[in-house]
Amino acid sequence: MNTDRENLVNLNQWKNHKRENNFSDYLKVLSFNDLMNESNELLDQIKRSEEGIDLFSKTRVIMSEFTHRLEKESRHLADSVKDFKKQIEDRLL
């Protein structure tokens, strides 16, 4: 059996991608106040060092949602959040 590796998908990567997309869809329907509450809950989880990789994924998705919303209001704030997100990713990767 000859398998072409280029067409194979890592199951864990696919699951993570799917989870991120679902979480992103959830965040999009939240009010700004609810988004802030969700962020605070995530910060509490980070402080307790729960879930590791999943927290990193959620943090990226939440910051992307903040950036998306801020782009409509203030380009300067959105750029600041993007820069902050990049700094976090650089430290964690």
pLDDT in tens, 43-65: 888 778 766 667 778 888 888 88
CA distance 61 to 50: 17
pLDDT of residue 92: 63
Query: What are the residue ranges spanned by the domains of the chain?
Result: 5-92
Does the predicted model carry a pTM greater than 0.75?
no
pLDDT of residue 52: 64
pLDDT of residue 70: 84
Query: What is the pLDDT averaged over residues 80-93?
Result: 76
Q: End-to-end CA distance of the chain: give it in Å, rounded.
A: 36
Give ∠ CA 58-43-65 in degrees, rounded to 5.
Answer: 40
